[in-house]
Amino acid sequence: MRVGLSDGETRPVATVPASVAVPVVAGTVAELARVLGAPRPALAGAAPGPTERFRVIGVIASASGQGAALMSVDKQPARPFRVGSNIAPGFVLKAVTQREIKLADSVQGEVTATLPLPDPAKVKTDALDNNLPRLLPSAP
């Protein structure tokens, strides 16, 4: 096959037969988007740590460190977790005390994070207390 140039000259061009298949290498969606010209996502900071991911609502603890914790994981509704339970990938509830929980990367692993219970003076748990100003008529 020959291709014509603007000055009238022609040059031979190599062609690929239509029957030749070009291998496609599968990649991630992000890689495909980048190849197709999508802008790169902004570099994210460090992954959120346990204090950002987990919120301790309450505990039931024994003197031996056994018990359970009521926790919210990644802003999901709170659920109970027993000591030894996997909370999220890489996080196991290692122990509970009356005022905090201890997390590890495995049941046999060392404690990697300690999360305190919220200060009871700063937490309003009674729905009536939270709505009381709206329920009472204002003074004239």
Per-residue pLDDT reduced to its tens digit, 7-55: 667 666 666 565 655 555 556 666 766 767 766 665 555 677 888 899 9
Residue 121 confidence (pLDDT) above 50: yes
Specify the DSSP class assigned to residue 122.
G
pLDDT tens, residue by residue, 69-87: 999 999 899 999 999 999 9
Q: Which CATH class is domain 51-119?
A: mainly beta
Q: Is the pTM of this model over 0.95?
A: no
Start-to-end Cα distance in the chain: 95
Q: Determine the Cα–Cα distance for residues 70 and 77; give it in Å rounded to an integer.
A: 10
